[in-house]
Chain A
Amino acid sequence: MSPDPSPLSPPDTGDQGRDILSLRDFRLRFRGQPVPTVNGIDLKVAAGEILCIVGESGCGKSVTAMSIMGLLPPRSSEVLSGSLDFLGKSYDLRHENLPAGQRGNQIAMIFQEPMTSLNPSFTVGNQIAESVLQHQGGSRAEAMERAHDMLVKVGIPAPRQRLNEYPYQLSGGMRQRVMIAMALANDPKLLIADEPTTALDVTIQAQILDLIRDLRRETGMGTMMITHDLGVVAEIADSVAVMYGGEVVEYGPVTEIFDNPQHPYTIGLMSAMPRLDQPGGRLAIVPGSVPSMANMPSGCRFRSRCAFAHARCADPAPKVEAAPGHSVACHFAPLEQNLAVTA
């Protein structure tokens, strides 16, 4: 099977900020899988930008994030290609990861499971201070002071007291705040948030999203947020990458993706989202489910579920610029015009 030749490029973010991270042609295969799980991904995050990566479970979004962090178990997978530019340095992901000195320092990550992501045996203060000590050195007292300041920053009440508490004494929302405090303790340039609000109830979700947005404004950090919740995307994103089957199928500014979706998968996702402004009727679904890697179709990976699939979809989908900064990987893009022609 030939790799798809024309992965989507990120939109030009213009003069909004310089790129902090750019990932090019990232392809990764898990051992024992016939085809790459992640098949040629390009992403870019600029300073102050919030990029949301959306897609169903198993589309490769978390794997991509973990690879950027260098957290995938090395023996389980193989990077086929991919180069990572981070803060002006370039890394060939086939042979190297980001150095551990960057992890938790310039680039930090928070996870989906706030209940289990903190170590139950150590105090909150200890766990934040540890990260500070690891990357900045200094005395323990200074690190604890920094931990305290971070708890204040993420809006935890009675921070002085919380420092000496254990994770079990905190609620899920508070634990996620602690995770954020820990991640941001060393002023990272990029925050990767892997479904940070999925495990939280709706009001806490909104608080955490607000917090991430505020911190972005204060610190100017870039954020890569992984989610399958389009509500979250609409709430917070500057730009959106829609992933399907290990590929980015549509990439662009958030307004473009929501108002002018071009890829049949994106359109399906949009119509599957309940909307208050168009009440009535049943929600649409994207028929079928994501095929396993063993059954992944050649060419366009979405064609087995696509209502518009055509013989030529067996070839790799070309990349089409639907609007400035808005690209889509589909033979029929822009969809509406081309469907009229084919019909």
Chain B
Amino acid sequence: MLLFLTRRILIALPTIILISIFVFALQKLLPGDPLLVLAGEERDPAVLELLREKYRLNDPIVVQYFTWVSNALQGDLGISLRTNQPVTELMLQKLPVTLQLAAMSMIFALVIGVPAGILSAYKKGSLTDYIANVVALSGLSIPNFWLGIMLILLVSVKWQLLPASGYVPLSEDFLQSIRTMLMPSFVLGTALAATMMRHTRSAMLGVLSADYVRTARAKGLTERRVVLKHAFRNALTPIVTLTALLFGELVAGAVLTEQIFTIPGFGKMVVDAVFNRDYAVVQGIVLVTAVGFIFMNLVADALYFILNPRLRGQ
């Protein structure tokens, strides 16, 4: 297990290095000079020069890169040009928000998508299968922002059941926090549930016709056990992969949904940073979410390891 994971991490390292170079280079290539933003209206050359010195922009580009990387490794992602706060600090404030939203969305996606996928595979060709597919297709086709706005209109404005926007930390008021996040995570989760359902369905279709499922039936097991133990267990691998990847995406921020429900997460932060040419923040977010994504892949690998006896045996 340790060897397996070490190998995976070693493979992930070059990816992370490449990403860091890419993120860094992209900033340099983009038009627009952040210093002009900083220097304000007057653009005094002396002030600009001073700022260049301060942010070490006169160093050779390679030196700049290594300075950035070594700082990043120590947890220092620079200072926001906009707010003068350390980027790391800013991100740590947003992280719990984004994680909570991602986790709750994933729960919706799994709780709806997986059982629907199993059922529609088991009843392939039946009315149940048909309905599940239509609902899934609508789930994929309905834009998040539309569903979000409709939910706000109905649930918050008309029925006044849930708050329309905002964020309450879990530690402050657990119940209220969950209530606030319910609608946005439902909006995100249902869209993912559709993907989840389609993948679960196709994985289940593959295993339901397997010889060992026939063996399980020949043993006289109940259909429930045949499907949920013998078939589902072998359909888990693609579901786990998908869960990890989707979770990675969720952590990278759900820009639209966060905007609609005014949730102060990564998505909103990155949009604001891009508009403000807040380079340090954009760099930080892209780097951290990319690493997060790779981390989720590692988690998926570790789960394969637990799921697949053949891998474990090696």
Select which of A102, A117, A121, A179 is within 8 A of B220 by beta carbon.
A102
**Contact pattern, A 81-122, Cβ under 8 Å of B = 1, otherwise 0:** 000000000000000000011111100110101001111111
Q: How far apart are the CA atoms of A104 and B225 in the complex, in Å? A: 14
Q: How far apart are the CA atoms of A118 and B309 in the complex, in Å? A: 13
Binds B, one of A29-37, A128-136, A214-222, A282-290: A128-136
Q: How far apart are the CA atoms of A182 and B216 in the complex, in Å? A: 10
Q: Is the CB of A69 within 8 A of B218?
A: yes
Does residue A258 face the partner (Cβ distance < 8 Å to B)? Answer: no
- Inter-chain contacts of B214 with A (CB < 8 A): 71, 111, 117
Q: Is the CB of A103 within 8 A of B307?
A: no
- Inter-chain contacts of A71 with B (CB < 8 A): 214, 217-218
Q: Is the CB of B219 within 8 A of A131?
A: yes
**Which residue of chain B is the closest to A132 with respect to CB atoms?**
B219
Q: Which of A101, A105, A131, A179 lies at the interface centre, i.e. has the most chain B CB atoms within 10 A of its CB? A: A131
Shortest A187–chain B CB gap in Å is: 14
Q: Is the CB of B218 within 8 A of A116?
A: no
Does residue B7 face the partner (Cβ distance < 8 Å to A)? Answer: no
Q: How far apart are the CA atoms of A60 and B157 in the complex, in Å? A: 66
- Inter-chain contacts of A105 with B (CB < 8 A): 220
Q: Is the CB of A120 within 8 A of B220?
A: no
Q: Which of B26-78 contact A (CB under 8 A)?
A: none
Q: Is the CB of A100 within 8 A of B211?
A: no
How many contacting A-B pairs (Cβ < 8 A)? 71
**Which residue of chain B is the closest to A73 with respect to CB atoms?**
B209
Q: Is the CB of A117 within 8 A of B310?
A: no
Chain B: interface residue count, which band? 20 to 34
Q: Is the CB of A182 within 8 A of B219?
A: yes
- Inter-chain contacts of B233 with A (CB < 8 A): 119, 121-122
Q: How far apart are the CA atoms of A118 and B217 in the complex, in Å? A: 12
Q: Which of A105, A117, A168, A183 lies at the interface centre, i.e. has the most chain B CB atoms within 10 A of its CB? A: A117
Q: Is the CB of B310 within 8 A of A120?
A: yes
Q: Is the CB of B234 within 8 A of A130?
A: no
Q: Is the CB of A101 within 8 A of B234?
A: no
Select which of A100, A109, A113 is within 8 A of B222 by beta carbon.
A100
- Inter-chain contacts of A183 with B (CB < 8 A): 218
Q: Is the CB of A134 within 8 A of B219?
A: yes
Q: How far apart are the CA atoms of A119 and B218 in the complex, in Å? A: 13
Q: How far apart are the CA atoms of A96 and B19 in the complex, in Å? A: 63
Q: Is the CB of B211 within 8 A of A116?
A: yes
- Inter-chain contacts of B221 with A (CB < 8 A): 100, 104, 130-131, 134
Q: Is the CB of A118 within 8 A of B220?
A: no
Q: Is the CB of B309 within 8 A of A111?
A: no
Q: Is the CB of A121 within 8 A of B219?
A: no
**Which residue of chain A is the closest to B214 with respect to CB atoms?**
A71
Shortest B304–chain A CB gap in Å is: 12
Q: Is the CB of B219 within 8 A of A118?
A: no
Shortest A28–chain B CB gap in Å is: 18
Does residue B313 face the partner (Cβ distance < 8 Å to A)? Answer: yes
Q: Which of B184-231 contact A (CB under 8 A)?
A: 210-212, 214-222, 230
Q: How far apart are the CA atoms of A106 and B310 in the complex, in Å? A: 33
**Which residue of chain A is the closest to B217 with respect to CB atoms?**
A71
- Inter-chain contacts of B210 with A (CB < 8 A): 116
- Inter-chain contacts of A101 with B (CB < 8 A): 220
Tally chain A residues at the interface, Cβ within 8 Å.
30
Q: Which of B258-314 contact A (CB under 8 A)?
A: 307-310, 313
With known contacts A111-B211, A111-B215, A119–B220 Cβ distance under 8 A: no
Q: How far apart are the CA atoms of A267 and B214 in the complex, in Å? A: 35
Shortest A177–chain B CB gap in Å is: 14
Select which of B219, B308, B310 is within 8 A of A104 by beta carbon.
B219
Q: Which of A167-214 contact B (CB under 8 A)?
A: 168-169, 179, 182-183
- Inter-chain contacts of B309 with A (CB < 8 A): 120-121, 123, 166, 168
- Inter-chain contacts of A111 with B (CB < 8 A): 211, 214-215, 218
With known contacts A104-B220, A134-B221, A117–B234 Cβ distance under 8 A: no
Q: Is the CB of A119 within 8 A of B212?
A: yes
Select which of A103, A120, A123, A134 is within 8 A of B212 by beta carbon.
A120
Q: How far apart are the CA atoms of A88 and B314 in the complex, in Å? A: 51
Q: How far apart are the CA atoms of A103 and B310 in the complex, in Å? A: 30
Q: Which of A254-269 contact B (CB under 8 A)?
A: none
Q: Is the CB of A108 within 8 A of B313?
A: no
Shortest A130–chain B CB gap in Å is: 7
Select which of B215, B222, B307, B313 is within 8 A of A119 by beta carbon.
B215
- Inter-chain contacts of A104 with B (CB < 8 A): 218-221
Shortest B124–chain A CB gap in Å is: 10
- Inter-chain contacts of B307 with A (CB < 8 A): 121
Interface residues of B (CB under 8 A from A): 210-212, 214-222, 230, 233-234, 307-310, 313
Give 7 CB contacts A-B under 8 Å: A116-B210, A116-B211, A117-B211, A118-B212, A120-B234, A121-B307, A121-B309
The 8 closest A-B pairs by CB, nearest first: A104-B220, A103-B220, A104-B219, A166-B309, A119-B212, A116-B211, A131-B219, A117-B211
- Inter-chain pairs besides A119-B230, A166-B313, A168-B309, 17 sampled, C-beta below 8 Å: A100-B221, A101-B220, A103-B217, A103-B218, A103-B219, A104-B218, A104-B220, A104-B221, A109-B218, A116-B210, A117-B212, A117-B214, A119-B216, A119-B233, A131-B221, A134-B219, A166-B309
